[in-house]
Structure 1
Amino acid sequence: MEEAGDPQMMSIRRQLENLNDATDDINSYEMKLEHVKKQFCETQLIFNREISGIPNKLAKHISKARPFFDLKSREPNLRRFAQQAAALFERQKTVVEMAREQLTILHSSLNNNDEMDAEKKYIDVIEQQLELVNEAEAECAEAERAHAARVRDLLQLETTLRRLLQENGPSIKKARPYYDRKEVLTKTMNSQIELMSILENEVQDRKDSYSTSMRALEQISEQIHQERSSQNSLAQAVSDTSSDVESDGLG
């Protein structure tokens, strides 16, 4: 039993350490989560108070300026999409150039080969490379169209912003502090929501780890119980056999 008990005890200690670590982490992350939830509620209160406490005179300017600022909030994403499309187009152009270069090398190798069956050796490879060139050119053309569409969207947005600025310049100027503040509070709440989600996942991961260690301990306990039962049964069988032998000897 001692030989079998050592690894079991090591496993028990390891699982107990895991339980302690998981418990500490759960408590720590839950405290952080409660703190962030409290901050989020406070930000919400500030947001609702500031949004609902707008004077009527300023509310008119805010209403006129809303199309401008709603559209303005889309500009960073559109600009990023255009940049990503441009980068993809440049990568696809490089792929096309490399594929064409490989095709040129194959043609050159064929022309410089004097063997009788050289064309047979190269024809399949050249056809495959030609397919790769065609595929790369098609993907490059698609990337170019996507980039052009993103640029058109961005230019259209900028044109509309300029028109709205000309039509409602005074209202936009007066409403800007309101929309700037709204943007700050919205970003803060979104960051807090994201952090709450991360912390909730961390808590759940630690709880899963805790449950896994508990199941492992239960399995070890059952294994020990079975080993002891088997040893007791074996000892009882040996004892019964010895008693039978002694009885036969006396008889």
Structure 2
Amino acid sequence: MTEGDDQLVSIRKQLENLNNATDGINSYEMKLENVTKQFCETQIMFNKEMTGIPKKMMKQISKSRPYFDLKSREPEIRRCVQQAALLFERQKTSVELAREQVQILHNSLNNNEESDAERQYVDVIEQQLNLVKEAEDECLKAEKMHAARVRELLQLETSLKKLLLEHGSSIKKARPYYERKEALTRTMNSQIELMSILEHEVQQRKDSYSDSMRALEQISEQIHQERSSQSSFAPSSDAESDSS
């Protein structure tokens, strides 16, 4: 394959990339436009519903706000408790495994009748004992972290019960408002996340388009330079031919 053929293949490839990038840009921009429109509609609905509350209801919403603010934190705190518990269990397992390794080394030493066996094993056993100490320290940290997370959850549950006793009626009446607010907020957050993803997709394809354009410009410049070189070489050859 000649250099000209290689250039032709490269041009076709870059043109194909341009077409794909253009199609991708159009497709994702259309999706982005639709999601943006949906987000604006949800935002308008949110503002309308959240501001069109009767004055009597606003008083109940205000009284119950501390309860629902705490309630919104509960899932995250429970997740932290679960993560801390899993970490603690993993660290306990690490301690048990490290201790088992020490016991295996001791058993191997006791069963070894060679005179220099103790000298061979002592360094390895000391290293393993250090690993046991490190594992125990990490386990203790994980245990303290788990205990702290559990205390935080218990304090939250206690506060929720107290608020429920003090403002139970207001909390019951305001619940539909907060549930609706949470649902709309989740929807808007999902739309914002989707818009961010689509914007990233659009930008990626725009970058691909720009890369292909630059590649085509480089090929064009290369072809131009080659033709210029050939043009400058041709007269010189004719002149040599005439002089001879």
Which band: TM-score by shorter chain? Answer: over 0.9
Cα separation, 2, equivalents of 1:155 and 1:74: 13
Please show how residues 207-246 of structure 1 align to structure 2 within 5 Å. Answer: 207-245=206-244
1:181 positional shift: 0.3
Deviations 1:70-117 (A, max 9, x none): 000000000001001101111111111111111111111112112222
TM-score normalised by L of structure 2: 0.97
AA aligned to 1:70 is: D
Where does the alignment leave 5 or more consecutive residues of structure 2 unmatched?
A: none
Deviation at 1:231, TM superposition (A): 2.3
SS of the residue aligned with 2:57? helix
- Tell me the CA shift for residue 3 of structure 1: 1.4
Q: How many Å separate the matches in 1 of 2:218 and 2:126?
A: 62
Classify the secondary structure of the residue corresponding to 1:73: helix
Q: Which amino acid aligns with 1:145?
A: K
d(CA) in 2 for partners of 1:11, 1:163 = 72
Which residue does the alignment assign to 1:9? 8
Count of paired positions: 244
Secondary structure of the corresponding residue to residue 74 of structure 1: helix
- The equivalent residue for 2:188 is 189
**Alignment root-mean-square deviation, CA:** 1.1
Measured after TM superposition, the shift of residue 120 of structure 1 is: 2.1
Residues 114-123 or 136-145, more deviating: 114-123
Aligned to 1:116: 115
Tell me how far 1:238 sits from its aligned partner.
2.0
Q: Which residue in the other structure is 2:154 paired with?
A: 155
SS in 1 for 2:114: coil
Tell which deviates more after alignment, 122-131 or 19-28. 122-131
Bigger CA drift: 226-235 or 164-173? 226-235
Q: For 1:135 and 1:185, how far apart are their aligned partners in 2?
A: 48
**Alpha-carbon separation, structure 1, partners of 2:13 and 2:219:** 12
Within 2, Cα distance between the matches of 1:236 and 1:127? 85
Looking at structure 2, the residues matched to 187 and 66 of structure 1 have their Cα atoms a distance apart, in angstroms, of 18
Q: CA deviation at 1:240?
A: 2.4
Structure 1 equivalent of residue 56 of structure 2: 57
Range that drifts further, 228-237 or 181-190: 228-237
Counterpart of 1:248?
Answer: none
2:7 counterpart letter in structure 1: Q
The alpha-carbon deviation at position 191 of structure 1 amounts to 0.5
Task: Provide the residue aligned with 1:30 in structure 2.
Answer: 29
| Structure 1, 22-31 or 230-239: larger mean CA deviation | 230-239
Per-residue CA distance 1:163-193 (angstroms, 9 max, x = gap): 0000000000000000000000000010011
Aligned counterparts of 2:220 and 2:240: Cα–Cα separation in 1? 30
SS of the equivalent of 2:2 reads: helix
Corresponding letter in the other structure for 2:87: L
Counterpart amino acid of residue 67 in structure 2: F
Q: Match of 2:223, as an amino acid? A: I
The Cα offsets for residues 194-231 of structure 1, whole Å up to 9 and x where unpaired, read as 00110111111111111111111111111111222222
Which sections of structure 1, spanning at least 5 residues, go unmatched?
A: 246-251
When structure 1 is superposed on structure 2, of 110-119 and 142-151 the one drifting more is: 110-119
- CA separation in 2, counterparts of 1:76 and 1:203? 34
